[in-house]
Chain A
Amino acid sequence: METNPTSDIRDPISASGGPLGAAVDWITDFGGVLIDWLIGLGDIAMFSLRTFGWLLGRLPRKETIIPNFYQIGVLSLPVVALTGTFIGMVLVVQSYVQFRSMHLEAKLGAVINMSLVRELGPVLAATMLAGRVGSAMAAELGTMRVTEQIDALVTMGANPIHYLVVPRFLGCLMLIPALTIMADFMGVAGAFFYAVYLLGIDSHHYLENSRHFVGNFDLFVGVFKSLFFGAAIAIIACYRGFNCNPGAEGVGRAATTAFVYSFVAILLLDLLLGIAMDGIYFALWPEAPKLF
């Protein structure tokens, strides 16, 4: 509804022609894109702040929370469990040959479970959540925006952030740890099943190695990271929905961009948090066991 202040300010310079003009055009275009980006970033930051503000105040009612929690948590479990199992088994298939050529099959448990618990479990659960729930939320809120339902909420004295965003945010934030643990568990179980029953790796060594190298801290790191993923998914999806362009096309775009942006955010956060958590880990336990 508000007009975009950047769209109208380019005219005077771009009128100049020639190579210099082209360069100036390029710079102004680039500057325009950059400014749009910064405005978008500022906008989403404001959106997050308003959500956090409402989180500190009054919580939404049970009737608005429970359906969202059901959507986000319960209905996502099967798909997260399924992908978790397969990723565990795929990891074993992929690494078995290399590890056997070095006669390190028994270490397989440590490597696979470590990467599952620290990386793949959380990232996979978050990706599934972004795909299954994030884009659906963006489409739903986008439809509400386009059909003026969000305006109707406002006229009826309900704050749309409080009423629509906070329950979804809480749902993603509070249930993604459970989904992550589910992905971890099914991945570990799937890998164990494939390694021990199908490839015949000695189960005692497989488990002992895992126990030795994968600790509570690794589990904690994965679950801790997932909280950030969940928050990012909810904020991005709701923001895209709230700022949906008119029409069916706008709703479709809101859904796809919600997923793409969430996925990029997940990977970016994963990298940053991974670096930070490693720093913390080696500061806390300088003489931690090394794998090789």
Chain B
Amino acid sequence: MVATATHISDSSGPLIQMEGVEIDFGRQRVLRDIDLTISRGKTLAVIGESGCGKTVLLKTIIGLLRPTRGLVRFDGRNLAELSERELTRQRIRFGFLFQQAALFDSMTIAQNIGFSLRQHTDKRVDEIRYIVLARLAEVGLPENILDKKPAELSGGMRKRVGLARALALEPEIMLYDEPTTGLDPIMSDVINELILSTRRQHPITSIVVTHDMRTAQKVADRVVMLYPLPRLRADEPQIIYDGPSDRIEQAADSRVSQFVRGEARERLMEMRQLNGR
């Protein structure tokens, strides 16, 4: 296959568009009527409480889940209409950091990080080794783990290996599912800096799902907040905030500002009411 995905596209329009996307699992609806546009070269943070559908949103964008209704456009083309081959070609342009890292546990760390380089480039073994070492250093991991298996690492280390693996092919679009969860504050900031510096090195479009408001404010141009459907009125849009990251604390919607400040009072009252019944 080709080393760098060459493609013809109009480079001005939005890179990813979700139009009226709805995702159901059996009878459970998780996403409802999501309209979201992601412009080239920008970083979007997605926040929202646990279980509101952030991971589902990311998986829909990369085509792992198919919308029950609505469509996802990538570079102007409807994902559902692409052939399997074409879809694969487009996916190579993405890097995806899974929430639980999803490392291949039959492979060593080095093989994990070098996987897509081996699959999609004709780089020699020593070239791949060089890139793998560079990626490993970027996420702040020591060289001596290269020949270990994922099961021998801590959760936070696995997550960073996942990040190194996702960045290996220098993707045009990075989808991060909670990049800093489970990391100490210093390492979280190292990862934040890494997200920022990959952006400086080459034009990259990113979506960062996070619970970490520091991450959201530091790396993102724009923040959207998803609200869990079961607690939403039928006529409300599911995205309850969509705007610049530095003004989110002053959001008019009290649910947004409470979430950002981590105030649980109203939520606790709601839970007590539910239990009381």
Which residue numbers of A lie inside 8 Å of B, CB to CB?
1-4, 7-8, 140, 143-144, 147-149, 151-159
B contact residues around A148 at 8 Å (CB) = 98, 100, 102
Instruction: List 10 contacting pairs A-B, 8 Å CB cutoff, sorted by A.
Output: A7-B26, A144-B104, A147-B102, A148-B100, A148-B102, A151-B64, A156-B91, A156-B116, A157-B1, A157-B119
Closest to B98 in A: A148
B contact residues around A4 at 8 Å (CB) = 26
Which residue numbers of B lie inside 8 Å of A, CB to CB?
1, 24-27, 59, 62, 64-66, 84, 88-89, 91-92, 94, 96, 98, 100, 102-106, 115-116, 119-120, 165
A contact residues around B100 at 8 Å (CB) = 147-148
Closest to A4 in B: B26
Bound Cα distance A153, B100 (Å): 14
Inter-chain contact A156/B119, CB cutoff 8 Å: yes
* CB of A168, distance to nearest CB on chain B (Å): 13
A contact residues around B120 at 8 Å (CB) = 157
Inter-chain contact A155/B94, CB cutoff 8 Å: yes
Bound Cα distance A57, B27 (Å): 39
Inter-chain contact B25/A155, CB cutoff 8 Å: no
Q: A155-B96, A157-B91 are known contacts. Are A149 and B65 too (CB-CB below 8 A)?
A: no
Inter-chain contact B116/A3, CB cutoff 8 Å: no
Contact of A152 among B27, B88, B89, B104 (CB under 8 A): B104
Report the 6 A-B pairs with minimum CB-CB distance, sorted nearest first: A148-B102, A152-B102, A155-B96, A157-B92, A156-B116, A157-B88
Contact of A149 among B25, B92, B104 (CB under 8 A): B104
Inter-chain contact B26/A3, CB cutoff 8 Å: yes
B contact residues around A158 at 8 Å (CB) = 115-116, 119
Inter-chain contact A1/B91, CB cutoff 8 Å: no
B contact residues around A7 at 8 Å (CB) = 26
Q: A3-B25, A7-B26 are known contacts. Are A155 and B91 too (CB-CB below 8 A)?
A: yes
Bound Cα distance A156, B87 (Å): 11
A contact residues around B103 at 8 Å (CB) = 149, 152
A contact residues around B102 at 8 Å (CB) = 147-149, 151-152
Bound Cα distance A221, B165 (Å): 49
Bound Cα distance A2, B27 (Å): 12
Inter-chain contact B91/A151, CB cutoff 8 Å: no
> In this complex, which of A4, A144, A154, A156 has the most chain B Cβ atoms within 10 angstroms of its Cβ?
A156
A contact residues around B115 at 8 Å (CB) = 156, 158
Contact of A151 among B1, B25, B88, B98 (CB under 8 A): B98
Q: A148-B98, A149-B105 are known contacts. Are A154 and B116 too (CB-CB below 8 A)?
A: no
Contact of A159 among B62, B88, B104 (CB under 8 A): B88
Closest to B26 in A: A3
Bound Cα distance A154, B26 (Å): 23
A contact residues around B66 at 8 Å (CB) = 2
Inter-chain contact A154/B105, CB cutoff 8 Å: no
Bound Cα distance A148, B162 (Å): 12
* CB of A279, distance to nearest CB on chain B (Å): 41
* CB of A181, distance to nearest CB on chain B (Å): 30
Bound Cα distance A151, B63 (Å): 10
Bound Cα distance A112, B104 (Å): 47
* CB of B174, distance to nearest CB on chain A (Å): 11
B contact residues around A8 at 8 Å (CB) = 27
B contact residues around A149 at 8 Å (CB) = 102-105
Bound Cα distance A3, B92 (Å): 28
Bound Cα distance A152, B113 (Å): 12
A contact residues around B89 at 8 Å (CB) = 157
Bound Cα distance A147, B66 (Å): 19
A contact residues around B98 at 8 Å (CB) = 148, 151-152
Q: A151-B98, A157-B120 are known contacts. Are A3 and B24 too (CB-CB below 8 A)?
A: yes
Bound Cα distance A7, B26 (Å): 9
Bound Cα distance A3, B24 (Å): 8
Bound Cα distance A149, B84 (Å): 19
Bound Cα distance A8, B25 (Å): 12
Contact of B96 among A2, A143, A144, A152 (CB under 8 A): A152
Bound Cα distance A148, B55 (Å): 12
B contact residues around A143 at 8 Å (CB) = 105
Inter-chain contact A155/B104, CB cutoff 8 Å: no
Closest to A8 in B: B27
A contact residues around B92 at 8 Å (CB) = 156-157
Closest to B104 in A: A149
Further pairs besides A143-B105, A155-B62: 8, Cβ < 8 Å: A3-B24, A151-B59, A152-B96, A153-B104, A156-B115, A156-B119, A156-B165, A157-B1
Closest to A147 in B: B102
Bound Cα distance A4, B24 (Å): 12
Closest to A140 in B: B106
Closest to A157 in B: B92
Bound Cα distance A147, B165 (Å): 16
* CB of B24, distance to nearest CB on chain A (Å): 7
Bound Cα distance A4, B26 (Å): 7
